[in-house]
Copies of this chain bind each other. A is one copy, B any other.
Amino acid sequence: MRHSTTRRNVLRGSAATVALAATAATATEAHAVPRDGTGPNIGILLYDGYSLLDPTGPAEVLSRLPGATVTMIAAKRGAVRTDTGDVALVAEQSIDEVDRLDVLLVPGAGNRGTVAAMNDKTLLRWIRRIHRHSRWTTSVCTGSIVLAAAGLLDGRRATTYWASAEYLQSTFDVTYLPQRYVRSGKIITAAGVSAGVDMALHLASLLSDDDTAKAIQLAVEYDPQPPFDSGNAAQASPQLKERALRLLAASQV
């Protein structure tokens, strides 16, 4: 019974090849578009304890830019674990191998990962070196605190994770703005975690044009409809904020 089910599906699967290909009728033409670095060279810095969606949301969006390359980068090549310790992305290159990027993105992390990155002289020095020649230097969540620790946000306006806003403003010469993303010169900071997707679409329009960015938004079917309306800290109760921070802390190693 299971066998015949499998068999039937495999036959459908074979027939599917044509049908599915048809849904992307321009595939052939599109594949003619070379992925040869004619587009932006985008590097995302991974460090121990980052939050998974911070690098992956923007990577999903920015990887759809014509000719774009997205490279995960870390102190050393290999697996880099998230704040939960459950999941790892592969760093394809080490910071020693990268000295030029069109776009640098620094994700956020839990408390442990953020503080460690802020105190990593080698990482901060690399961030400053890449920033010197980047077209855009960007961050998601507490990644803006890492940029601030590198001295890149002095005298600037920026955003960060809602629970880190007071810390960012009181520790550095930064004016916090409670926005999804804030552009200051060639630096763009995004608010917490999911805000990286909104920032990446804005960045996509800056790297190409509005029509391309709109097509990317459709390509990732980004028509958000959260089942709740609880994602804005300015409207959240102290109880909900405490609960959110407790869940975060409990999920992190």
Contact = CB atoms under 8 A, between A and B. Distances in A.
A3 to B, nearest CB: 9
A198 B225 contact: yes
User: DSSP class of A's interface residues: helix, strand, loop or mixed?
Assistant: helix
Contacts of A184: none
Contacts of A216: 244, 247
Contact of A240 (B30, B51, B172, B218): B218
Given A19-B171, A88-B90, A246-B26, A5 B151 contact: yes
A124 B19 contact: no
Given A60-B53, A69-B86, A72-B87, A20 B223 contact: no
A116 to B, nearest CB: 9
Interface size class of A (residues with CB under 8 A): 35 or more
A24 B115 CA distance: 13
A253 interface: yes
As for how many copies of this chain the complex holds, the number is 2
A118 B241 CA distance: 43
Contacts of A24: 111, 163, 245, 248-249
Given A86-B63, A193-B221, A218-B236, A20 B231 contact: no
Given A13-B119, A149-B9, A250-B30, A227 B205 contact: yes
Contacts of A161: 221
Given A5-B128, A194-B197, 18 more contacts: A9-B148, A20-B115, A21-B111, A23-B166, A31-B250, A57-B57, A66-B247, A70-B84, A70-B87, A88-B92, A197-B224, A201-B226, A201-B227, A215-B230, A216-B244, A218-B244, A219-B245, A221-B231
Q: Which 6 A-B pairs have the closest CB atoms?
A: A192-B221, A223-B231, A30-B249, A224-B224, A13-B118, A214-B230
